[in-house]
Amino acid sequence: MRGLYPIVDVDSLQELGTQPEAIVAFAERVLAARPPLLQLRAKHAGTRDTLALLRALRPLCTRFGARLIANDRPDLAVLAQCDGVHIGQEDLPLPLVRLLAPGLLVGVSTHNLEQLAAALAEKPDYVAFGPVFGTASKERPDPSVGLALLTEAHAAARASDTPLVAIGGINLERASQVAEHCEMAAVIAALQPDRRSLSGVGEAAQALHAALTSRRRAQI
């Protein structure tokens, strides 16, 4: 798993309209870049709406070869036949997720080195670390960790053979800065150059994925 980790954030896509078709159309353009994972993040959507979106995204992700990840909700991940679930510090703990849904990939968000160490001890399938830079995608974001702490986090994750996802404020310019310090980078806002339309979405995803994988290829 390397490169772009796109997050389809329903709140960030409000200006496209609230119809599921708009969200699916956005995801299809992003998936054309062939990222390894795609996450649906629907913090304020109802359970039924979130499940419907996950079910709509399932065949798309299969067609493009991406693993579909549900945010926060292992129950919906199972019902929608997702490949995995992403959990935060206040969500259901990883051991319980494994107990309830042993077939799911599980990623864990961490925001400092202490949280990272605790998460790595529980052997997630990947771990996210950030926000690396300032971000507007969360109502109450954690303090930015910066590139220095990201470098330390990557060393710890590599020592435990766990892929690291950099997250928070990553755009095309910053992608080249984080590429050597992570396996993947999660992106929300930079996928949508024009918040009111789908213009440039596919191109943005392609450019981000290329920036995040070209540095890795150069190191091999």
- pLDDT reported for residue 36: 98
- pLDDT reported for residue 138: 64
What distance in Å separates the CA atoms of residue 59 and residue 167, rounded to the nearest whole number? 26
- pLDDT reported for residue 135: 74
What distance in Å separates the CA atoms of residue 22 and residue 13, rounded to the nearest whole number? 9
- pLDDT reported for residue 220: 43
- pLDDT reported for residue 208: 98
Q: Are 69 and 39 in contact (CB under 8 A)?
A: yes
- Residues contacting 84, CB < 8 A, separation 6+: 37, 67, 68, 69, 70, 77, 104, 105, 106, 107, 125
Angle between helices 20-31 and 47-64 (to 10 degrees): 30
- pLDDT reported for residue 55: 98
- Whole-structure pTM value: 0.94
pLDDT tens profile 172-205 = 999 999 999 999 999 999 999 998 899 999 999 9
Q: Please give the average pLDDT of every successive group of 10 residues along the chain, which has 220 residues.
A: 96 86 96 98 95 98 98 97 97 96 97 98 98 78 91 98 97 95 97 93 98 66
pLDDT tens profile 59-69 = 999 999 999 99
Angle between helices 20-31 and 201-219 (to 10 degrees): 30
- Kindly list the structural domains of the chain, giving each domain's residue range(s) and its CATH number in brackets, ordered by start: 3-219 (3.20.20.70)
Q: Are 164 and 153 in contact (CB under 8 A)?
A: yes
